[in-house]
Structure 1
């Protein structure tokens, strides 16, 4: 495990006035309801993504902002709900008014080169508020643009594509589908290779809705989340060496567990020790499961709405301290395997019965795995992104599990952690205990 650092750079960004990009052709004017997964409270917010592209000699006479602006108008003919605005109906039901008002777009240029960002491209990114300008009045859920895109040209010929998504419209996989189509149109296609399918009614609650499974993600728990004052952030790299070291603590009958399960089990244990909760308190790990991948019959190819479930692994703090890592791995695997098609139907019904609530975050931690989403594969004509994915590292109760290549060219995973300063010191110490394999091998800061 090595700690990575974000270069401290400052630069000036010159922006053009924000503009609304409308579909290139007339599109249907209709009200389209979101699914009963889409409009739950936890998704009623904005999520930023960012892509870094190096300059390409064959594209030196092309302005990436112009290319993407033109492609955006074309792709919105197919994804026209993104050009609309959300309305709220009875029982807090969200609907898209497909008004064709458009997507917010900003062209900008930054007086900085790609190299000044350093080779360690991962969140958090310096000057994100400059690379993704929050247009006043644009960040609400209701009656606000559903997408905001900023294309910032760099001095070296590269550029940065940053986007903010209203999360009710899509999850990571859904927005990658949209961005892939945008890239295809930018490269000259007239039709996306995967045609978008709305069909949000496939994830409506049953009539009448009825809960048939246990859903700990919506337990009502007394307590407070980690306070935001004194929070510090560190980002950690897990390569082959670190994962191999962590696997030493996994019993033989669980050696087929995934790298994700090994890393996240270790982090959950070390984070719990660092926070020093009452030993009898229940600690919770929310295990996100993409149901559209697990159950191909649930939604069709081309569906771009939210399809994640949030099963929870639960353990007392003392068991996380004292029991072998296999205990934690088994809890995670059991939670993920609990997601069946019936679980998904019950989950959708519960959100309606309980008024579309926010899942519980008290004594909870969850990690979003974006390794298979394909963010880095989006190509606007300048090749694949040097980095593509979340623009922010997370919060005190959430992290992203992001593919990364370190300065030595080694592929692995980076995870950002947000903890109070005292807890962070303990977290680093505990995690180092697990990855240091001998007294002479100090890995902290050695694998950047």
Structure 2
């Protein structure tokens, strides 16, 4: 019997207090840099709570009193740019979060292990690839499974927040769902002077100046992968690589190198990497700031450098790009260094790390999520998200989801991955 996800009619959830603040929120250079693109996030809970749809919808209404810009809309500002406009109930243009309750006829594990079903656990924007001014900044679907578990699917306009900001909001939402009277010990901040004062991040040091309109960008014919990299492998690399490195650097170096070997392009052809870098500490963002403070760092290398180098050499490429950002940042001022625009295509791999952002911390009453997942039926280029450990791994390792290679390169890629994870020497 096939599994079916049945959705209720969409509702617009507004702040529970009619005196919730209104007005305009100025966008920072970080907000503008990331553009109005949707970001999907799925939190999967294998233990039940009482009436999850009603509980979370009620908590959302309460949370929007404190996080009222999330209920806003994008609009044209007086200077010709964009602002987040926060209106009162009944005002033209409206406000609120689009919310849907749903039920699945299967158990948690049956649904989340199937990409064909994962797409039914999210709401999508009408334009799918971009968000319009009239669209809510946040869409949420709460799905109850036949086993008693539930999932919280969140899709938001990237102009609203980055992963760290959304992690903060979802933790506050969980507190309210559990009946905690205050939102959090940290006061929510959406407009922060230090972030607003920071100059535009594009073209900064190793920051990617990206041509997002490249016609070659497509995931058509690509394989969606759900992998777990064990902590023992990560520890082994760290122990033998000869210098300090992070789990992020090990995972990205491994997948970047295995991909380059599987695709097997000419040694001189480009094999670029783009990854997100949290700038909160470098620009002095306030505690509780939940807007964007993220840049995209590029690493330009050749296929030969990535495929044929030792693991430590690939890690060094990533570390050098990260160090450049820190070296060129002085008390929140980013030193702008112009560079050639990066052309996206199959030769460029994009990475987003969702670890250590608080996305694994929301608790709606039955504990933290069993899985934190990224999924898009289609994406504009090779991409993977590094997520916290998934259920079944015993908390061991790191989960990776995304489109890394085309189907024609999948067998070669998996052979590379399996051989590296099973090897007694890590490089």
Q: Normalising by structure 1, what TM-score?
A: 0.81
Query: Any conservation in 1 of the 2:350–2:382 contact (CA below 8 Å)?
Result: yes
What is the match of residue 202 of structure 1? 194
How far the C-alpha of 1:179 sits from its partner, in A, is 0.8
Match of 1:376 in 2: 360
What are the within-5 Å matches in structure 2 for residues 245-284 of structure 1?
Answer: 246=237, 251-252=241-242, 254=243, 256-284=244-272
1:38, distance to aligned residue in structure 2 (A):
0.6
Q: Residue 127 of structure 1: SS of its match in structure 2?
A: helix
How many Å separate the matches in 1 of 2:161 and 2:188? Answer: 12
Query: Which 10-residue stretch deviates more, 300-309 or 21-30?
Result: 21-30
SS of structure 2 residue aligned to 1:282: coil
Q: CA deviation at 1:182?
A: 1.0
Change beyond 3 A, Cα 1:216–1:275: farther
Contact 2:171-2:363 at 8 Å conserved across structures: yes
Q: Counterpart of 1:76 in 2: which secondary structure?
A: helix
Report the secondary structure of 2:189's partner residue. coil
Choose between structure 1 and 2 for higher RCO, CA contacts under 8 A separated by at least 6 residues: 1
The residue that corresponds to 1:390 in the other structure is 374
1:325 maps to which residue? 311
CA contact under 8 A between 2:371 and 2:391: conserved in structure 1? no
**2:175 matched to which residue of 1?**
184
CA separation of 1:18 and 1:91: change in aligned 2, threshold 3 A: same
Matched, 1:157 2:154: no
Counterpart position of 1:17: 9
Shift of 1:157: 2.5
Paired residues of 2:238 and 2:245 also in contact (CA < 8 A):
no
Change (3 A) 1:371 1:132: same
Matching residue of 2:91: none
Provide the C-alpha distance between the structure 2 equivalents of 1:104 and 1:334, rounded to a whole number of angstroms. Answer: 42
Question: Quick one: distance in 2 between partners of 1:366 and 1:135?
Answer: 22
Match of 2:102 in 1: 108
Is 1:240 aligned to residue 256 of structure 2? no
User: What RMSD, in angstroms, separates the aligned Cα atoms of the two structures?
Assistant: 3.4
- 1:330: Cα distance to partner? 1.0
Match of 1:287 in 2: 275
Range that drifts further, 324-333 or 131-140: 131-140
- Distance in 1 between residues matched to 2:212 and 2:70, nearest whole Å: 36
The answer to whether the Cα contact below 8 Å between 1:137 and 1:144 also exists between their aligned partners in 2 is no
Q: For this pair of structures, how many residues does the alignment match? A: 411
Residue 99 in 1 paired to residue 91 in 2? Answer: no
Mapped partners of 1:393, 1:259: distance in 2: 28
Question: In structure 2, do the counterparts of structure 1 residues 127 and 321 end up closer, same or farther at CA, with 3 Å as the change threshold?
Answer: closer
Aligned match for 1:399, one of 374, 377, 384: 384
Question: Given the alignment of the two structures, is residue 128 of structure 1 paired with residue 118 of structure 2, yes or no?
Answer: yes
Please give the alpha-carbon distance, in whole angstroms, between the structure 2 residues aligned to 1:223 and 1:115.
37
CA distance in 2, matches of 1:437, 1:389: 28
Is the 8 Å Cα contact of residues 203 and 209 (structure 2) preserved in structure 1? no
Paired residues for 1:45-124 under 5 Å:
45-56=37-48, 59=49, 62-89=50-77, 93-100=81-88, 101-117=95-111
Work out whether 1:308 is the aligned partner of 2:294. Answer: yes
Q: Is 1:218 equivalent to 2:201 in the alignment?
A: no
What SS does structure 1 have at the residue aligned with 2:83?
strand
Q: CA deviation at 1:32?
A: 1.4
**Please, which runs of 5 or more residues in structure 2 have no aligned partner?**
89-94
Which segment is superposed worse, 176-185 or 190-199?
190-199
Once the two structures are TM-superposed, the CA of residue 359 in structure 1 deviates from its matched residue by: 6.6
Shift of residue 183, structure 1, vs aligned partner: 1.0
SS of 1:425's equivalent in the other structure is helix
8 Å Cα contact 1:217/1:360 also seen in 2: no
In structure 2, the CA distance between the partners of 1:157 and 1:239, relative to structure 1 (3 Å rule), is: same
CA–CA distance in structure 2, aligned partners of residues 388 and 241 of structure 1: 21
Structure 1: give runs of 5+ residues left out of the alignment: 1-8, 440-448
Whole-angstrom CA distance in 1 between matches of 2:342 and 2:153: 28
